A = this chain, B = another copy of it.
Amino acid sequence: MTLADSTAGQRGTPARGRPRSEALEHAIIEGVLTLLEDGVPLAELSMERIARTAGVGKATIYRRWRGKEELFVDVVRAAEPAEPLLPGTSLRDDLVVMLEWMRRRGLAGRSSAVLRNVHAQMKSSPRIWAAYETSVVRPRRNALVEVLRQAQQRGEIRADVDVRLAYDLLTGPMLLRSVLRPDGDLPEDLAERIVDTVMEGLCPPAGEPPR
């Protein structure tokens, strides 16, 4: 599930020596999250400080993660709230639930601080970012794209619309507000407004006379 423990995950070896404590993995990640929530700037998050905060030796961290960036992948994972169950009652309901989840994620709590900082840090390392993208972002996108595709087959979406583009049209604006924009405001009805506006379009219905 995590990037940690990757080398110890081999099956077949009957687990020699003292096993790694799973509790420590949690302690380390939780320690990082607590520091971030407390407003510690990312630049001050040295491995030494992380180890000290978690009450752990540095080697214990390096035994689990290859470096700071790999650790941050698991930190971001741990910070993300559980993905929502889509109600499936209608396309609009599913989209609103998904975007509302994204909105809340950027609002407060751990995910907010983590998203705005560590996200950016991870992008600096293409290798790490790719790992995160593959294991976290892409599956989530694929799920919602599939929802859109089925809606298109039901006729709820115009047949000539590229569902991948539709996905970006819906999530791009929310991502812009909740992650990229510093201090961006996220009003409560933002998800609904994005979904409704994108689905209906910016232009007035044809045939309606310009005011």
CB distance from A125 to the nearest CB of B (A): 7
Checking B172, B197, B205 against A173 with a beta-carbon cut-off of 8 angstroms, the contacting residue is B172
Copies assembled: 4
Checking B120, B165, B206 against A124 with a beta-carbon cut-off of 8 angstroms, the contacting residue is B120
Q: A126-B182, A210-B154 are in contact. Are A202 and B169 (CB under 8 A)?
A: yes
Checking B157, B165, B169, B204 against A203 with a beta-carbon cut-off of 8 angstroms, the contacting residue is B157
**What mask results when residues 107 to 130 of chain A are scored 1 for a CB within 8 Å of chain B, else 0?**
000000000110111011110011
Q: Does A19 contact B (CB under 8 A)?
A: no
Most central of A166, A171, A193, A202 by chain B CB within 10 Å:
A202
Q: Does A194 contact B (CB under 8 A)?
A: yes
Bound CA span A72–B166, Å:
34
Q: Find chain B residues with CB under 8 A from A104 CB.
A: none
Bound CA span A130–B172, Å:
21
CB distance from A208 to the nearest CB of B (A): 9
**What mask results when residues 176 to 200 of chain A are scored 1 for a CB within 8 Å of chain B, else 0?**
1100101000000000011001111
Q: Does A174 contact B (CB under 8 A)?
A: yes
Which residues 1-18 in A have Cβ within 8 Å of B in the complex?
none
